[in-house]
Amino acid sequence: MSRPATKTNQNADHGRAIGSIDSRQALQRGVLLAICAACVYLLIVGSFCFDFKQTNYPHHILMADAMLHGQLDIRPEALEPLAERFRADLEQELQAIAQATGHDLRPEEMASIVQPRVAGKLAADWAVVGDRVYGYWAPLTPVLMMPFVAVFGVGVSDQVINVFFGALNVGLFYWLLRRVHRSGLCRMDDTLRTGLTLLLAFGTSHFWLTCTAQVWFAVQIVTLTALLAAMIATCGSSSRVWQWLLGGFFFGAAILGRNIVGLVLPFFLLLIWQRARDANEHRWRAFLCRALAFGLPVALAVGAQGMYNAARFGDPLNGGLSVQVKTGGHSHFREAYDRYGTFSLHHVLHNARYYLWNWHLPRLADGRLWFDSEGNSMFLVTPPLLYLFLIWRRRTLFTAALLAGAVPMLAVLLSYFATGCVQFGPRYLLDVMPLLLLLVASGMRGRLSELGFVLIVLACAANLFGTYRMCDAEFVLIRAWAAWWMLPALVAVVLLAGLGVRLRNRRPAA
């Protein structure tokens, strides 16, 4: 009787050894993908000479500086270096114009032009209450920037910080795909997992959002980090209570990054139900136990947001958007907000156009092809999303959970008073991009076909174009020799290389 037991133990040990090797290889691949993404991001934000600067809108760094000084309103002395930078840039620009036109600007004339412009730039996107200046964003992003500000000072480059979180997102997303595969929630081969990870890194708005790094965009990158962590914690092979507690903590953090991410909650609730249904214990007891574990930190996060709101604007339900729109918002958005409010059915058709079917790419006066600043169709900028129309191929409860998390967000975004301008493609979709890409995997039936490969390459090409335009100033060094035909040539080379690899893998062994 001992011999079969010994053989069983040997098989189990062999299985664990194979699993350990597979885990190490997956970890190595995830780290490699994150490093590759970081190198590309750093190359762009460093203007191809690794010159890392602070953007003109480092709002979260200034908010982190205020928190480190025990306050929530921005310190005037922290704003002064930014004002000096604006003033110097404007004076240099005006002097260049004066020299070109032969007009000599007197100091008082220069000051009369520069001062109001500097004041306008400094007020952009702040919520001003009396003589105090606040950021209207949720607190996660400045809190995570506090260690960087504490170590490197208020002049630290927000570009580098954003690249750190952007690269982290790439590694986390690969980890998530592997988790949902191993747990059986969404089976896919490793080629598809790698392809979808590269798609997130370079074929979605994540690419240019990471490289622009400015205030509106940084908060989306950081929020995605927390959301990915929440999904990783809850999509494993096991379904223990502590995992849901941890997942709730990260989801609460995501809500403290962007409150609207709370609309993804139905995904987690359906996922809890699915895991409870598969458990050996009583279904409802398992569901309630895990839902309470998940919901406790989420409720604490919501309470923390309410206290944060009250401390800044005197009302737990006032996040500061109404204040910001009136004091530091663009006049275009102020008009729409005053007339229709934050959400209105009036915006649905307008927003649907820019999310779904706007293919218009205007040309500038110098002939350069550009993008619509209100946004272009999600299917134009990320063509693999067309596989969303094929998700019926996998009619599982996990697919339903993904839809339950993504659809409410899409519905609310369509009624929102702004599309996310200025942007390349609908950037707000990044908040649910992990869910959308998992639905794409379902539409692809878990494997990367030739068509899927082509669409991913086209998505990366589209977002390389978008990043080139959104980060126009960072490409000054290479703009002189960058020709229009280079991007199509690069696409052709990658497609031919991919076809060659595909044919080689299909060749029968000798």
Give DSSP secondary structure letters for 283-337: HHHHHHHHHHHHHHHHHHHHHHHHHHHHHHHS-TT--SHHHHHHHTS-HHHHHHH
DSSP code at position 416:
B
- Paired tokens of 251: 């989801």
The per-residue pLDDT for 18 is 46
DSSP code at position 103:
-
Among the listed residues 278, 233, 261, the one whose alpha carbon sits nearest the alpha carbon of residue 398: 278
Q: Is a pLDDT exceeding 50 seen at residue 1?
A: no
Q: Is a pLDDT exceeding 90 seen at residue 464?
A: yes
Please provide residue 152's backbone torsions phi and psi, each rounded to the nearest 5 degrees.
-105, -5
* Residue-wise pLDDT tens digits, 135-167: 999 999 999 999 999 999 999 999 999 999 999
The 10 Å Cβ neighbour count of residue 412 is 14
pLDDT confidence tier of residue 189, bands split at 50, 70 and 90: very high
Q: Of all residues in the chain, what percent carry a pLDDT higher than 90?
A: 57
For 507, how many CA atoms within 13 A lie in the half-sphere containing its CB? 8
Of 509 and 106, the one with more pLDDT:
106
DSSP code at position 509:
P
The per-residue pLDDT for 17 is 52
Given a contact cutoff of 8 angstroms between Cβ atoms, the answer to whether 248 and 294 are in contact is yes
Least confident of 25-34, 246-255, 401-410: 25-34
| 347/332 Cα distance (integer angstroms) | 14
Q: What is the mean pLDDT of residues 474-502?
A: 85
Q: What is the mean pLDDT of residues 23-35?
A: 87
Q: What is the mean pLDDT of residues 69-75?
A: 94
Q: Of all residues in the chain, what percent carry a pLDDT higher than 70?
A: 94
The per-residue pLDDT for 279 is 65
* Residue-wise pLDDT tens digits, 312-338: 999 999 988 888 888 877 777 777 888
Q: Is a pLDDT exceeding 90 seen at residue 509?
A: no
DSSP code at position 262:
G
- Paired tokens of 149: 């500000």
Q: What is the mean pLDDT of residues 289-316?
A: 95
| 433/445 Cα distance (integer angstroms) | 18
Among the listed residues 151, 131, 174, 153, the one whose alpha carbon sits nearest the alpha carbon of residue 58: 153
End-to-end CA separation in angstroms for the chain: 44
Does a cis peptide bond (omega within 30 degrees of 0) precede residue 422?
Answer: yes
Tokens 């691949």 belong to residue: 29
pLDDT confidence tier of residue 21, bands split at 50, 70 and 90: low
| 508/506 Cα distance (integer angstroms) | 6
| 224/260 Cα distance (integer angstroms) | 12
pLDDT confidence tier of residue 2, bands split at 50, 70 and 90: very low
* Residue-wise pLDDT tens digits, 217-266: 999 999 999 999 999 999 987 778 899 999 999 999 999 999 999 999 99
The per-residue pLDDT for 83 is 84
The per-residue pLDDT for 298 is 97
CA dihedral 186, 189, 191, 194 (to 10 degrees): 40
DSSP code at position 281:
S
| 215/282 Cα distance (integer angstroms) | 47
Alpha carbon 435 to its chain centroid, in Å, reads 13
Produce one character per residue of 97-121: b if its CB has 16 or more CB atoms within 10 Å, e if not: eeeeeeeebeeeebeeebeeebeeb
The per-residue pLDDT for 493 is 92
Three-state DSSP class for 102?
Answer: coil
Q: Is a pLDDT exceeding 80 seen at residue 8?
A: no
Kindly report the average pLDDT of the chain as a whole number.
Answer: 88
Of 479 and 44, the one with more pLDDT:
44
